Structure 1
């Protein structure tokens, strides 16, 4: 069995864009409801940054999912 490197263990695929599209929301609307700028949301979607825990909970509630569902390994 192959051992995962530390990088591979922490590499998570972002599902936020997929979940936003499933709900039919506009990204500007999501950013406004979460209390962030559209640029911050774009950074999350691109994997350039991750939402802080408080914003992740707001986003998950808005999308009707658990925080764990925002990302997958």
Structure 2
């Protein structure tokens, strides 16, 4: 049960990271990714090191989308 909840939460996070640009601006997407990572850590679904990696990944998504806006 726990593993399935973790898997589902991470899958939803990755979907938001890869598909949300179609319906939200980069700042909203970044904020939602951070909120989702925070919620997973608060629920005990991920470790603090997994949380840090998600935050780094969210930053990469944000900076990548910002670079595409300027080109």
Say yes or no: TM over 0.5. Answer: no
More strand by percentage: 1
Q: TM-score, normalised by structure 2?
A: 0.29
More helix by percentage: 2
Point out which structure has higher relative CO (alpha carbons under 8 A, 6+ apart): 1
Computing the radius of gyration from Cα coordinates, the structure with the larger value is 1
